[in-house]
Chain A
Amino acid sequence: MTTGVLALQGAFALHQSRLESLGERVVQVRIPADLEGLDRLVVPGGESTTVSMLAERFELIEPLTEFAQSGKAVLGTCAGAILLSAEIQDGRADQRCLGAIDISTRRNGFGRQVDSFEQEVQIPILGELPFHAVCIRAPVIERVGESVTVLATIDSRPALVRSGAIMVSIFHPELVDDLRIHQLFLAM
Chain B
Amino acid sequence: MSSTSSEPTVHSTGSQLVKRGLAEMFCGGVIMDVVNPEQARIAEDAGACAVMALERVPADIRVDGGVARMSDPEMIQGIQAAVTIPVMAKARIGHFVEAQILEALGVDYIDESEVLTPADEAHHIDKWKFTVPFVCGATNLGEALRRISEGACLIRSKGEAGTGNIVEAVRHLRSINGDIRALTLADSAELFDWAKQLRAPLGLVQEIAETGKLPVPLFCAGGIATPADAALAMQLGAQAVFVGSGIFKSDDPAPRAKAIVEATTNYMDAHILAKVSRGLGAPMTGIGMDDLDIKLADRGW
Contact = CB atoms under 8 A, between A and B. Distances in A.
Interface of A: 7-14, 30-31, 45-47, 49-50, 53-54, 57-58, 78-79, 90-92, 107-108, 112-121, 130, 134, 136-137, 172, 175-176
A14 B252 CA distance: 35
B9 interface: yes
A11 B27 contact: yes
Interface of B: 8-15, 17-18, 21-22, 24-29, 44, 47-50, 84-86, 103, 106, 108-109, 131-133, 239, 261-262, 264-266, 269, 272
A16 B22 CA distance: 18
For the residues of B in contact with A, the DSSP-based class is loop
Nearest to A30: B266
B18 A134 contact: yes
Contact of B108 (A31, A118, A137): A137
Contacts of A108: 84
A118 B18 contact: yes
A46 B29 contact: yes
In this complex, the member of B8, B85, B106 whose beta carbon has the largest number of chain A beta carbons within 10 angstroms is B85
B47 A120 contact: no
Contacts of B26: 46-47
A175 B15 CA distance: 13
A83 to B, nearest CB: 14
Contact of B27 (A10, A54, A137): A10
Given A8-B265, A117-B12, A50 B48 contact: yes
Given A14-B24, A114-B103, A50 B84 contact: no
Contacts of A172: 21, 24
Given A8-B265, A13-B27, A114 B14 contact: yes
A50 B108 contact: no
Nearest to B48: A50
